[in-house]
Amino acid sequence: MTAEESIAAPEIIREECRVVSGPFAIGVQVFLAAMVLATLLYKRYQEHPPRSWLVWLMDISKQGFAMSLQHFVNVALAVIFASTEGMAGECVWYISNFMITVVGGLIVLTLWMRFHRIVVARYQLTWLQSGEYGDPPKIPIWLAQTTYWGFVCCLEKFTVAGLVIYPFHHRIDALIAPLETPFKSYPKTELVLVMVIAPSVLNPIWSWIIDNLVKDPRYGRDDIQQEEPLKHSHYGTVQSEC
């Protein structure tokens, strides 16, 4: 290796860890999706009474659609913030943005869904009654709720980024830049840490809490069997007698 090559090497290595990394990044996203699915399967088996498989699939597909959109928003924000004047690279910005928006996002979405349920109940917006798809469940209602939830989750990402990450961008950059120094020579290790290890911990927690927000709150309540009689449609959906 020549002296010129050894001088140029650090810059090349620094640019190798990117959040848009082709098949490798796609592979880790598939792995993370499988972890979330396993978490939600376990959660369903803990419910009393449980959701029918159809209702459960409708609920988790809403979350899957929103998480896919949020991933692209995370990547876009990481590229934007890393491309501005600063020391931190895309990978460390990706996980920093991810962690900040997970914490801030859960707060925003929890408050929003409380407000949402009040508005839906007051104005009888039955199509937007989260987790209720009709008896039997209807695809148009599910599509409306899925589109709505995807929009809300993307709006939440930009809200947290606009209120927290953008105003404090330089402070965050100075704080996180030293964290990636030990990994500059190991870009794939850094990529695994920021796109596999940390999300493997945070995604199951996120998906568990979000599932509680998007599902019909009657499911998973042991006391509902004493409070109101239930019936099952031919889809297996638990419904209350009116």
* Residue appearing with tokens 């030293």: 178
Q: What does residue 214 show for φ and ψ, rounded to 5 degrees?
A: -95, -20
What are the Cα distances from residue 35, in Å, to 42, 138, 188, 190?
A: 11, 28, 21, 20
Percent of the chain with pLDDT over 70: 79
Q: With 50 as the cut, is the pLDDT of residue 46 above it?
A: yes
Q: Is pLDDT at 38 greater than 90 in this prediction?
A: yes
222 compared with 67, residue with greater pLDDT: 67
Q: Which position has the token pair 């407000």?
A: 115
125-164 pLDDT, tens digit per residue, is 888 999 999 989 999 999 999 999 999 998 998 888 888 8
Cα separation, 154 vs 149, whole angstroms: 9
- pLDDT tens across 54-107, in order? 999 999 999 889 988 887 887 787 777 766 767 877 788 888 878 888 899 999
The more confidently predicted of residues 181 and 215 is 215
Q: Could you tell me the pTM of the whole model? A: 0.74
- Give the separation between CA 48 and CA 167, rounded to whole angstroms: 45
In the chain, where are the structural domains located?
Answer: 19-220
Asked whether 114 and 217 are in contact (CB, 8 A), the reply is: no
- Residues facing residue 24 across a β-bridge: none
What is the pLDDT at residue 95? Answer: 85
Q: Kindly tell me the burial class for residue 134, based on how many C-beta atoms sit within 10 Å of its own C-beta (0-12, 13-18, 19 or more).
A: middle
Q: How confident is the model at residue 108 (pLDDT cuts 50, 70, 90)?
A: very high
